[in-house]
Amino acid sequence: MTRADDVPAAALPERMGNEALALRGSLPAALVFAAGALVLAAPTLAFVARESWSTEQGAHGPIVLATGLWLLLRLLPQALTVAVQPPAWRVMALFALVLPAYLLSRIAQVVELEGYFMYAALLVGIYGLVGTAAMRRLWFPLFYLVFMFPPPETVVYTLTLPMKMGVSTAAIAILHAFGYPIAGQGVMIYVGQYELLVAAACSGLNSIISLSAISLFYIYIRHEAEWRYAAFLVLLIVPVSLIANLIRVLILILLTYHAGDAAAQGFLHNFAGLLMFAVALLTIFALDALCKPIWNWVFAKRLAGKPVSTGVFS
């Protein structure tokens, strides 16, 4: 779509009139899409809320939904300037692929598949309304909203076992170095007279998913135009999350050893998880505040053609 500056003044009223007619013509399609989206999304989101959002693993889902919709509405006017509806046959072909899969997953009551196929159907509807170019403008909120659904169980099972083993090994090594009577076998940890099982919730995968969702939103809002620096911050999410989760496991082991199993499995168990998630998120914010001036200084030197000193003094 051409800019208003490139259009002769005499042609502006005609062009604006044509665009108004086009928008008016797409209004019925938008209303049909809104009604269809409500019919598809309402039961599936209610199912996801019961099965996932009410648990520790999916507690970030409502936050992702609210912030994702806000960002989508914020970027929508800009995306509509390049909106071009695709051929109807292409949209129908995509619906023919997605809707049967959604209906099957709905019947099977598999929360992950139902959520993903419902969202895929909504994406096809959005594509039918605004086309590819407009969806490119909306790429981040459309990608970000995927985090409101739980990951597939096959992915969870594949990733959690090595992560649980890694957390167990690291925690045992650290506490053994401080003289604690601790040993382990697989995902079992023996400390004093207690036996602890590193469950899937303690593997760190849930922390990575939740922290990734919230941190990606923060990084996009703060550094949308600086994709290199944004990518650098994204790379920090996983190590920060893993370290925070390791500290959580260490806290729970120490609570069990010093205060007993009842204390570690009660309120303090959940509180430790919330506390370390907050610490991990604040760590991302702090790393951003620390690294941004250094990043700007390095790139300013490169743009000026000066060598970047790696010593303490420049």
- Enumerate the active-site residues: 202, 248
CB 241 within 8 A of CB 280: yes
> Computed from CA positions of residues 136, 123, 62, 114, in that sequence, does the dihedral angle turn out positive or negative?
negative
Calpha distance 170→164 (Å, rounded): 10
DSSP 260: -
Beta bridge partners of 194: 191
Enter the tokens of residue 198. Answer: 């590193």
Residue found under tokens 């604006």: 16
Angle at which helices 61-80 and 111-137 cross, to 10°: 30
Stretch (H or E) spanning 189: strand 188-191
Residue type at 199? A
Q: Which of 4, 25, 144, 138 is nearest to 80 (CA)?
A: 138
Residue type at 284? I
